[in-house]
Amino acid sequence: MKKSWQVFWHFLFWISMISFFVFFVHNNTKMSMPRLLVIFVLYGIINIGFFYLNLYVLIPRYLDKKRFKLYALVLLIAVVIVGIDKYGLALLFKPYILVREKGQVLTFGQYFVSSFFTSLVFIFLSIALKFATDWFNNERVQRDLENQRLSAELSFLKSQINPHFLFNSLNTIYSLAYQKSETTPEAVLKLSEIMRYMLYECNDNKVDLGKELQYVQNYIDLQKIRFGNKAYVNYTINGVVTNQQIVPLLLIAFVENAFKHGLANDAANPIDIVIAVSDHHLSFYLRNKKHSHNRDAAGGIGLSNVQRRLDLLYPGKYKLEIHDKPETYSCELSLDL
């Protein structure tokens, strides 16, 4: 079907061009219609045939294989043969082709020079079309390869998130079970809700913002259980959450980093998380005090992961500022949804 459409558009283009020149010249000169039909239709078909001979035979056989000298030689021979054939045809239509308005008759040399330059025009057009087609095809292939690479990279980045989070959560539950805490069943329930979301609702490119924010809330609740409800977190959402969409598992790396490297059990310095939502924009702010023994710790997989995902999925649509100070850590993310 694609090939047939290509033939159709080529046919339509040449018919349009021939018709345009016939009627344009007819309306602007005294040239008779029979003469115009012979010049533009009959010889147009010959020139178009030479165009496709160069495009589909000579270029693939010689030029594409970098056989430049042989291509030039074969092309020159083809131009000469076409010129001779066109002159032979011109003799059959001598009054229309070789005889000028003042009765002057074109010699073979005069006609051949004119035919030679006409052939050069169609050679140039066929080479230009070939190079343009190759360029667009190469660009399409490169885009497809880049999309495949980005998809593979995103799949890899996303696959890093689940085990990373799962290991931390299992460590939390193990610690609660080891201490025979009464909150262990609640922690298991929270973890099951979180894992259900990660396994079944995060497979799409984007998810409902409300579900993503609830996922963050569940994570905070799980951490509070780990700290024996002595974790101090101010989690605030401003604005109306309706049907906005966001890439899943994007914000959790910052929150996880705050619990991992921050001080969560200091009532005077709680972890502050403020999210502001509008129709097409989200602002995320997080601040936490650092552990005295862990002030230089980096964010591990999480933060470098989320930075790369932002680059891939929100190019030019986000602004991330991180302030890593000796005593505190804060980040601000501005995101166009």
Whether residue 70 is contained in a domain is answered as yes
What's the rounded Cα separation, in Å, for the pair 150 and 17? 43
Residues 6+ apart with CB under 8 A from 99: 105, 106
Residue 201 sits in the same domain as residue 319: yes
Residue after which a domain boundary falls, among 142, 163, 191: 142
Is residue 188 domain-shared with residue 110, that is, in the same domain? no
Q: Which domain holds residue 303?
A: 181-336
What is the distance of C-alpha 99 from the center of its chain? 58
Q: Within a domain: residue 155?
A: no
* Residue at 120 is within a domain: yes
Q: Strand, helix or coil at 175?
A: helix
Shared domain for 191 and 315, answered yes or no, is yes
Q: Is the pLDDT of residue 201 over 50?
A: yes
| 112 and 207 housed in the same domain | no
- Residue 22 in this model has a pLDDT that exceeds 70: no
The pLDDT of residue 313 is above 50: yes
Instruction: Report the distance separating Cα 231 and Cα 123, nearest Å.
Output: 77
Name every residue whose Cβ is closer than 8 Å to that of residue 237 and which is 6 or more positions away in sequence. 213, 275, 277
Kindly report which listed range (89-98, 218-227, 241-250) carries the lowest average pLDDT score. 89-98
For residue 213, the model assigns a pLDDT of: 92
Quick check: is 75 in a domain? yes
CATH number of the domain at 302, please: 3.30.565.10
Q: What is the pLDDT of residues 232-279, one digit of tens each?
A: 899 999 998 888 999 888 888 888 888 887 888 888 889 999 999 988
Q: Over 50: is that where the pLDDT of 128 sits?
A: yes
- pLDDT-derived band at 200 (thresholds 50, 70, 90) equals confident
Is 107 within the bounds of a domain?
yes
Residues 6 and 133 in one domain: yes
Of 258-262, 289-293, 295-299, 324-328, least confident by mean pLDDT is 295-299
What are 153-195's pLDDT values in tens digits? 555 555 555 566 677 677 778 877 877 777 788 888 888 887 7
Residue 152 placed within a domain = no
Task: Give the distance from CA 16 to its chain's centroid.
Answer: 35
Write down the pLDDT at residue 295.
Answer: 47
**Same domain for 137 and 263?**
no
Report the range of poorest mean pLDDT among 58-67, 203-212, 300-309: 300-309
* Residue 336 burial (CB count, 10 A): 11
Does some domain include residue 171?
Answer: no
- If asked whether residues 323 and 267 sit together in one domain, one would say yes
In a domain, 317, yes or no: yes
Considering the domain architecture, whether residues 323 and 274 belong to the same structural domain is answered as yes
d(CA 333, CA 65): 53
Instruction: Write the secondary structure of 132-171 as one string of H (helix), E (strand) and C (coil).
Output: HHHHHHHHHHHHHHHHHHHHHHHHHHHHHHHHHHHHHHHH
pLDDT, tens digit, 9 for 90 and up, residues 58-87? 888 888 888 888 888 988 888 888 888 888
User: In the numeric block, which tokens belong to residue 4?
Assistant: 């047939």
Q: Quick check: 327 pLDDT over 60? A: yes
Residues 137 and 189 in one domain: no
Report the number of distinct structural domains present in the chain. 2
Please say which residue of 142, 169, 198 terminates a domain: 142
pTM over cut 0.85? no
Which among 91, 120, 142 is the end of a domain? Answer: 142
